[in-house]
Structure 1
Amino acid sequence: MATGELRIPHKPRLPDGLTLRDARDDDAEGLIDLIGGVFAEYPGCILDVDGELPELRCIATSFQRWGGRFWVVLREGRVIGCVGFTPSAASPGEGIELRKLYVDKTARKMGLGSALCDLVEGAARSLDKKFVELWSDTRFENAHALYARRGYTKGPETRDLHDKSASVEYYFRLDLRP
């Protein structure tokens, strides 16, 4: 899906002073700083861009190639939040996968994470999808609480990423009402 083809019925309401836009490949440095900062909050969580997350160097191109979309939130020109989606790997015609929801610690508790979830869930509805799914590192407990408040159900599945951080992820799913 090319950027611009998907029309979101309404943009989520963001806190004052923040700007939402489609990500560009030249957002790489800001995304790496944001995600690296979030990872640094958790002991043993390592950001290995070139070895494990090379898509951060060309985020717009990667998500377009994968059939999805990616957004960034800026404050005074600095990336302080991000989120994207791709088709569900298991059921691409039925759902989408929320990917890479990160919010800078200075921008939390302002409703930004929820606004970014609104954005992806709105995209799913615009695409007539039945569900939004995601995987989240077991260490990201604040994110899990956000997903629970939004109605996501934590499934029994986990997956081991076999990465430098020894990450294990929980599965979450939100069934959308017609």
Structure 2
Amino acid sequence: MTSAPDILIRPAVDADGPALADLIRAVFAEYEDCPFVPEEFPELAAPASAFAARNGAMWVAERGGAVVGSLAIAPNQDPGVFELFKVYVAGPERGGGLSARLLERAIAFARAGGGRRIALWSDSRFTRGHAFYLKHGFRRVAGIRALHDAGVTLEFGFARDLGPGPALAARAS
């Protein structure tokens, strides 16, 4: 575990695509039968543009010029609901508050856009991520989504009402 304060969080740019692919590949490698197939992630060709085109945003976290985390958000088809995407943090960076810092940015973005709720889908194998979501006010929603991808991925849904007030400041203290 490392200290998150010396990590820079900045808006993603399209040139981050290869570094994001490397990050996702490394995270997937931690799990059995979880292959990273670049063709299944066309948005990584121009990640900032891909999420901007959806009226969303993406951030990356850097340590020493290397991308060690990411998170994207965009409105989904339901009014007032924003969806999280590309929530990845490199193994050595987990546990130091980086994920919470990225989530704070997403919550602020959603609130500024009139969001009342945040939702996401997460690979059923990513149990550590599930614990993070539950710790930060998300609830598991009914149902499982099958992606029919190379990893035969099944995903669990999570959602969190935003409510009034600061995103995570009260929870983090």
- Structures share fold, TM-score greater than 0.5: yes
Counterparts of 1:129 and 1:54, CA distance in 2: 26
Residues 9-60 of structure 1: CA distance to partner in whole angstroms, max 9, x if unpaired?
xxxxx8232111111111111101100000000011111112x111112101
- 1:133 is displaced (CA, Å) by 0.3
Number of the residue aligned with 1:41:
30
Residues 73-118 of structure 1: CA distance to partner in whole angstroms, max 9, x if unpaired?
10000000000101123x0x31100111100001011011111111
Amino acid at match of 1:69: A
- Pairs within 5 Å for 1:103-122: 103-122=89-108
The runs of at least 4 consecutive aligned structure 1 residues that moved more than 4 Å come to: none
Number of the residue aligned with 1:164:
150
- 1:127 is displaced (CA, Å) by 1.5
Amino acid at match of 2:159: R
- Pairs within 5 Å for 1:71-90: 71-89=59-77
Residue 61 (structure 1) aligned to one of 10, 26, 49? 49
- Pairs within 5 Å for 1:146-161: 146-161=132-147
Percent identity (aligned): 36
| RMSD, aligned α-carbons | 1.1
Counterparts of 1:110 and 1:47, CA distance in 2: 26
Amino acid at match of 1:30: A
Number of the residue aligned with 1:175:
161
- 1:125 is displaced (CA, Å) by 1.4
SS state at 2:5 partner: coil
SS state at 2:92 partner: helix
Counting matched residue pairs gives 162
8 Å Cα contact 2:4/2:93 also seen in 1: no
Number of the residue aligned with 1:10:
none
SS state at 1:47 partner: coil
Residue ranges of structure 2 left out of the alignment (5+ in a row): 165-173
Amino acid at match of 1:48: V
Residue ranges of structure 1 left out of the alignment (5+ in a row): 1-13
